Amino acid sequence: MEYRNHPIEAPELNGTYTALITPMLEGSGLDNEIDYEKIFRLIYDQERSGVRGIVIAGTTGQSSTLSPEEHAILVEKLFNHVSYNYPNLQFIVGAGSNSTREAIDLSLNIERRIGPSSFLHVTGYYNNPPQEGIYLHFERLAKLLPNSNIILYNVPGRTSSRIEPETVIRLSHIKNIVGIKEASRDLEAVHKIISETNKERFVVLSGEDDLVFQIMHVGGLGVISASANIAPKYFTRITNASLKGDFRKALNLQEEINPLVRQGVFYRKNPIPLAHMFDSELRLPLVKLPYIELHLEEIFKNYTAEELGIDLRNYRRV
């Protein structure tokens, strides 16, 4: 049976979205094969923990180490798996590039394979364009992908390329640009974006796992989270509580999980700590670091598998 995707509209975009890791098998560091058995297991645990959706091949998914064709094949395989097994799980695809042409080509390839989609697109890392260049990058993506929706991704800590609030507000008027993953850590800018965009057609999602409560408290509607790989239940509880207006509960949960976020998942550059947690390999230039294991053991003493939603024993290689 052939499945066809459909883009997520702004009113449907809320809650917790897990930016999935791409588990890999042992190899040379150049061409490690993707561990599909492990990623299928991870999707099962995410869905069971109540996440709203998943993001495939983002930063956490080692997208920068995937070839364009491999990237598209990964998306197609996971889309078919999710469509058959978890039809209510929303599906977002990372397809960004610092080359507008490459971002368009990859997105069109994915559209041909699975249908119109919801794409997460990052800004121009390395070439660091001015604001007009950033605007035109996303404007051109939206124009050439008219049947898909686009979520902006502002992560200057990774790209050295910040989407200024004025540019976000300007882009929010384009019909198929439906939201932003905000990872600038600038709460004043986040508040300005939320205040000056139409929440019915443009949504702000946190891109900072330790600031989900703060961003939702000023009007954000959810999170795209790397840490939800290991703690999906915590993040679904934080976002569900916030969406219901129970910010006291959301704050308490945020404070409980922040040690795992800050000292665990982001102890070293993401996704290196997650690779240790899930007994996965990385592709170069990412590498595992021997001293992380003992550090993570100390962090995990504060949480149970039931609380997190993930039992890491199920991910250990025999």
Question: What are 171-224's pLDDT values in tens digits?
Answer: 999 999 999 999 999 999 999 999 999 999 999 999 999 999 999 999 999 999
pLDDT tens, position by position, 150-175: 999 999 999 989 999 999 999 999 99
What is the token pair recorded at 168?
């976000």
pLDDT tens, position by position, 60-103: 999 999 999 999 999 999 999 999 999 999 999 999 999 999 99
What pLDDT was estimated at residue 1? 64
CA–CA dist 97, 113 (Å, integer)? 19
| Single-letter amino acid, residue 268 | R
pLDDT tens, position by position, 235-252: 999 999 999 999 999 999
CA–CA dist 101, 255 (Å, integer)? 42
pLDDT tens, position by position, 40-59: 999 999 999 999 999 999 99
CA–CA dist 86, 97 (Å, integer)? 29
- Give the residue from 93, 133, 135, 123 showing the smallest Cα distance to 6: 93
Is the distance from CB of 18 to CB of 265 less than 8 angstroms? no
Is the distance from CB of 211 to CB of 187 less than 8 angstroms? yes
CA–CA dist 182, 184 (Å, integer)? 6
- Quote the DSSP letter at residue 63: G
CA–CA dist 239, 51 (Å, integer)? 10
Is the distance from CB of 152 to CB of 168 less than 8 angstroms? yes
Assess whether pLDDT exceeds 90 at residue 275: yes
- Give the residue from 156, 85, 93 showing the smallest Cα distance to 120: 93
What is the CA 203 to chain-centroid distance, rounded?
15
Neighbouring C-beta atoms of residue 218, cutoff 10 Å: 15
- Give the residue from 312, 297, 271, 290 showing the smallest Cα distance to 22: 271
Which residues participate in catalysis according to the annotation?
153, 181
Is the distance from CB of 150 to CB of 115 less than 8 angstroms? no
Average pLDDT over all residues of the chain? 96
What pLDDT was estimated at residue 317? 83
What pLDDT was estimated at residue 3? 79
**Cis previous bond, 271, omega within 30:** yes
| Single-letter amino acid, residue 164 | E
CA–CA dist 261, 264 (Å, integer)? 5
Assess whether pLDDT exceeds 80 at residue 2: no
What pLDDT was estimated at residue 124? 84
What pLDDT was estimated at residue 4? 87
What pLDDT was estimated at residue 203? 98
What's the Rg (C-alpha) of the chain? 18
What pLDDT was estimated at residue 207? 98
How does strand 203-206 pair with strand 177-182? parallel
- Quote the DSSP letter at residue 34: B
Share of the chain above pLDDT 90, in %: 95
Mean pLDDT (whole number) for 135-141: 98
What backbone torsions phi and psi does residue 147 show, to the nearest 5 degrees? -95, -10
What pLDDT was estimated at residue 278? 98
Mean pLDDT (whole number) for 15-21: 98
Q: In the chain, what's the furthest Cα-to-Cα distance? A: 53
Helix (H, G, I), strand (E, B) or coil at 151: strand
What is the token pair recorded at 306?
């039931």
CATH 3.20.20.70 fits 10-313, yes or no: yes
What pLDDT was estimated at residue 210? 98
CA atoms within 13 A on the CB side of 113: 19
Residue matched to tokens 């993707």: 34
What backbone torsions phi and psi does residue 95 show, to the nearest 5 degrees? -145, 25
Share of the chain above pLDDT 70, in %: 100
